[in-house]
Amino acid sequence: MRILYGVDIGGTDTKLGIVQEDGTILSDGSVPTDHGAGPEKLAARAADWFSRHAAGRASAAGVGCAGLVDAKGGMLFVSPNMPGWNDVPLAGIFSASLALPVRIENDVNAAAFGEFQRGAGRGVRNFICLTLGTGVGGGIVIDGKLYRGSNGFAGEIGHTVLIADGPRCACGSRGCLEALIGASAIIERARRIRLQAGETALDDIAEPSVKEIAHAARGGDAAALRVMEETGRYLGIGLSNLVHLFDPAAIAVGGGISNAGELILAPARAALSEHAMNERHARTRIVTAELGNKASFLGAALLAARDE
Ligand SMILES: [Zn+2]
């Protein structure tokens, strides 16, 4: 069976994995990204790691990276995690270091494909994966294939607009899904709800993180529950848009914020039901992603084995 290498370039660490073409992960680890030293240095560190951990010869490698990626041309145009990596021929750089054909992909697209093959999207043909964290990303699989759009930029679900005059988004627009359910939006919501609430567990923490808010909600704190409920409702409205557009069999929600699980997913499903054009639309399964931080390198590796 063919062996593939997968790379997921993160802001701090770059995850690496050696996988079989059936998606079995043989070995995985990480190296520091150190983006200031440039992509060539990172590619050399990755090549060194693979040479020390791989038993056999790989046939291709896939590299996932946040930002605007042209998978066909092998170019990374711009990345929020790697300031200064503008118009970088990332596929060529990794190909030179690894001495392999290399395919690059947006990291969330890669994660969606990984979940589709081996995680929460197993066994379906039409699938969407959302990642909730500081940013809100998305990847779309249509009829078994990753949908990239005409420029490779498809799947920016976090920047679909839910409220025309809503809160300002990092992208410059207003009322985007990301501006309503991204980490800073949840923290801002907690600040507002805390001011309105009477006594709340959130009072004990100066600047509660999403994790702390979820923890308080799990403990039954009414204010924290309201924060999660409101966040989940906006997520559900976003999901209803996706369901109406794509009619997927399943939508998986991953990323750090998805650790809140049913605290967010239950109100999201309720909002989806409420906004669905027909009750049949609300039957799309809304689930948590399964592969965590392995989804992206796995998906990148599996995409590298395909010519699509
Ligand atoms: Zn936006």
Rounded distance from Cα 114 to ligand 1 centre (Å): 25
Q: Which residue has the tokens 């959302």?
A: 130
Strands 13-20 and 25-32: antiparallel
Over residues 141-160, the pLDDT tens digits come to 999 999 999 888 899 999 99
Rounded distance from Cα 176 to ligand 1 centre (Å): 5
Rounded distance from Cα 131 to ligand 1 centre (Å): 14
Does 282 have pLDDT greater than 90? no
Which of 18-22, 80-84, 251-255 has the least mean pLDDT?
Answer: 80-84
Q: Which residues contact 165 (CB under 8 A, 6 or more apart)?
A: 174, 175
Rounded distance from Cα 26 to ligand 1 centre (Å): 37
Rounded distance from Cα 160 to ligand 1 centre (Å): 7
Rounded distance from Cα 139 to ligand 1 centre (Å): 16
The pLDDT of residue 258 is 87
Rounded distance from Cα 135 to ligand 1 centre (Å): 9
Does 308 have pLDDT greater than 70? no
Over residues 84-119, the pLDDT tens digits come to 999 999 999 999 999 999 999 999 999 999 999 999
- Between the alpha carbon of residue 39 and those of residues 52, 66, 159, 194, 240, the distances in Å are 20, 14, 28, 44, 39
Rounded distance from Cα 175 to ligand 1 centre (Å): 7
Over residues 12-51, the pLDDT tens digits come to 999 999 999 999 999 999 999 999 999 999 999 999 999 9
Q: How far apart are CA 137 and CA 158, in angstroms?
A: 5
The pLDDT of residue 204 is 83
Q: Compute and round to an integer the Cα radius of gyration of the chain.
A: 20
Q: Which residues contact 299 (CB under 8 A, 6 or more apart)?
A: 6, 62, 64, 105, 109, 110, 111, 112, 113, 114, 115, 116, 117
**251-263: average pLDDT:** 92
Over residues 174-201, the pLDDT tens digits come to 999 999 999 999 999 999 998 887 788 8
pTM of the model as a whole:
0.94
Rounded distance from Cα 163 to ligand 1 centre (Å): 11
